C-alpha cells in the first residue's frame, strides 16, 4: 500500500473541506452512568479514522448513538450536514452509514451469500408483490443482488464459502463477512467495531490491506474501533481516544501515542 503519510497530507489538504460526520457534544446517560460525555470529533470524506480507549470507555456506545441504536441524551450527530441523532437504525443505514458488531451478529442459519444479499437488499427497486407473484422484475433483481454479493465476497476473500452457513464459519471469516455485509448496503461511511478481534497476525495483516482497499478503491470513509494498538497506529491516519466516556486525546498516531493522558489511561487499565 502507498505511503500513508502522503495520503494524510493529501487528505488534510484537499478534502478537509468536506466533513462527512460530525459529533457535537454527543452525550448519553444510562441511569447514573454517563457512557459518552460531550464527545466531539469530525470525520472528513475519505478518512481512515480510529476510535480507541480502554475497556468500557464508551466506544461501542458511540457507534450505537451514531447508528440509531440509542438516541443521545444531548448533542448532535451530523451526517453530511443532516442531524441524524435519534433516527431509527434502518433510516441511518438508508442514509449511508453501516456498521459491524463487536459481538458478531450474523444471520447464523442463512448462507454467507444470503447474509450479503440482505445488506444489498436495502437498495432494492422491485416491490413485494412482484416477488410474491414471482414476476421477472423481482427474479432478475434477485439475480443481480446475488451477483453483486458474490463480487463483494471475492473482495473479502470469502467466495469459496459462499454457500456455507454463516454460523459454521471460523471466527476470522465471520468478521470479514460482517464487513462484506455492511459494504453491501452501499454506505458512504462504514463503522467497524473491533474488526481484528480474535484474528491471528496473518489475518490481521490481510484485514489491514482490505480496510485500506475499502477506503481507496471503494471510496468509503472508515471509522474503526480496535484494541490492537499496532494495528490502529499503522492503519489509521487520525485517532480519537476515549476514557470513561470522555475524549482525552485526538490527533495523528504519533501525537496520540506520546500523549501522557493516553499512556496514563491505558496504564490505569493495566493496574486495575
Partner 1 sequence: MNPAVEIQKPSLLKFWGSRVISAIAAIAFCAGIQSLGGPLADNEFLYRIIVLSGLYVTLAVSLNLINGITGQFSIGHAAFYQVGAYTAGYLTVRMFSTQQIGEVPWLILMCLVGAAAAAITGLIVGLPSLRLKGDYLAIVTLGFGEIIRIIAINIDEVGGAYGLSIVPKIQSPWLIWALAILCIAVCRNLLKTAHGLPFLAVREDEVASSAMGVSTTKIKVTAFVIGSSFAGAAGALLAHYEAFITPDMFKMEVSFIVLTMVVIGGTGSITGSTVAALALFLLPEWLRGLKEANGDALVVSAPQLLGATLAIIAYIALARRVRDHYHGKPIQKAGFQFGVAAASLVLFFLFKAVFAQIGGLAGHEGWEINSLRMAIFAAVLIVIMLLRPQGVFGHHEFSWAWLKSLFVKKKQEAS
Ligand X SMILES: Nc1ncnc2c1ncn2[C@@H]1O[C@H](COP(=O)(O)OP(=O)(O)OP(=O)(O)O)[C@@H](O)[C@H]1O
Instruction: Check: CB of residue 58 under 8 Å from CB of residue 35.
Output: yes
250 binds, among ligand X, partner 1, Mg ion, none (CB under 5 to 8 A by kind): none
- The CA distances from residue 186 to 190, 213, 223, in Å, are 9, 15, 15
Contacts of 160 (CB under 8 A, 6+ apart): none
Name the residue among 194, 263, 261, 262 with its Cα closest to residue 224.
194
Q: Is 162 in the site for partner 1 (CB under 8 A)?
A: yes
Query: Which residues, 119 to 138, sit near partner 1 by CB under 8 A?
Result: 119-122, 124, 126, 128, 130-134, 136, 138
Closest CB to partner 1 among residues 107, 218? 107
Residues 48-87 that bind Mg ion (CB under 5 A): 60
How many residues are there in the chain? 272
| Helix locations, 75-200, DSSP H | 89-95, 112-120, 128-132, 136-155, 171-184
Contacts to ligand X by CB under 6 A: 30, 33, 35, 53, 55-61, 102
Kindly state the smallest distance separating residue 271's Cβ from ligand X, in Å: 17
Choose between 61 and 100: whose C-beta lies nearer to ligand X: 61
* Residue 110 in contact with partner 1, rule: CB under 8 A: yes
Beta pairing partners, 239: 50, 251
**Candidate ranges 2-10, 54-62, 106-114, 253-261; the one touching partner 1 (CB under 8 A):** 106-114
State the minimum distance, in angstroms, from the CB of residue 247 to ligand X.
12
d(CA 149, CA 221): 20
Find the helix or strand (DSSP H, E) in which 191 lies.
strand 189-193
Here the cell at position 158 is: 470469502
Letters for 83-112 (x = contact with Mg ion by CB under 5 A, - = none) are -------------------x----------
Binding-site partner at residue 45 among ligand X, partner 1, Mg ion, none, CB < 5 to 8 Å by type:
none
The contacts of residue 192 (CB under 8 Å, 6+ apart) are 99, 100, 179, 182, 211, 222, 223, 224, 225, 226
Q: List interacting residues with partner 1 (CB under 8 A).
A: 67, 69, 88-90, 93-94, 98-99, 101, 105-110, 113-114, 117-122, 124, 126, 128, 130-134, 136, 138-143, 145-147, 150, 159-164, 167, 181-182, 185
Amino acid at each position: 500500500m502507498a505511503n500513508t503519510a502522503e495520503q494524510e497530507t493529501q487528505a488534510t489538504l484537499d478534502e478537509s473541506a468536506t466533513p462527512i460526520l460530525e459529533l457535537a457534544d454527543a452525550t448519553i446517560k444510562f441511569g447514573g452512568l454517563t457512557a459518552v460525555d460531550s464527545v466531539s470529533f469530525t470525520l472528513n470524506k475519505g478518512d481512515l479514522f480510529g476510535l480507541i480507549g480502554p475497556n468500557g470507555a464508551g466506544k461501542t456506545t458511540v457507534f450505537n448513538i451514531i447508528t440509531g441504536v440509542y438516541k443521545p441524551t444531548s448533542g448532535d450527530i451530523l451526517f453530511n450536514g443532516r442531524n441524524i441523532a435519534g433516527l431509527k437504525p434502518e433510516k441511518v443505514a438508508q442514509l449511508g452509514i453501516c456498521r459491524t458488531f463487536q459481538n458478531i451478529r450474523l444471520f447464523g442459519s442463512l448462507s454467507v451469500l444470503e447474509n450479503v444479499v440482505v445488506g444489498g437488499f436495502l437498495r432494492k427497486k422491485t416491490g413485494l408483490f412482484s416477488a410474491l407473484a414471482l414476476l421477472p422484475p423481482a427474479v432478475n433483481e434477485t439475480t443481480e443482488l446475488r451477483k453483486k454479493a458474490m463480487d463483494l465476497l471475492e473482495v473479502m476473500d470469502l467466495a469459496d464459502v459462499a454457500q456455507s452457513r454463516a454460523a459454521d464459519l471460523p471466527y476470522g471469516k465471520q468478521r470479514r463477512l460482517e464487513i462484506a455485509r455492511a459494504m453491501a448496503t452501499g454506505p458512504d461511511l462504514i463503522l467497524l467495531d473491533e474488526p481484528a478481534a480474535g484474528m491471528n497476525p496473518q489475518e490481521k495483516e490481510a484485514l489491514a490491506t482490505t480496510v485500506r482497499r475499502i477506503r481507496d478503491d471503494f471510496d468509503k470513509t472508515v471509522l474503526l474501533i480496535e484494541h490492537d494498538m499496532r494495528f490502529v497506529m499503522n492503519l489509521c491516519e487520525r485517532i480519537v481516544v476515549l476514557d470513561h466516556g470522555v475524549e482525552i486525546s485526538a490527533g495523528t498516531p504519533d501525537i496520540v501515542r506520546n500523549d501522557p493522558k493516553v499512556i496514563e489511561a491505558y496504564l490505569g487499565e493495566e493496574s486495575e
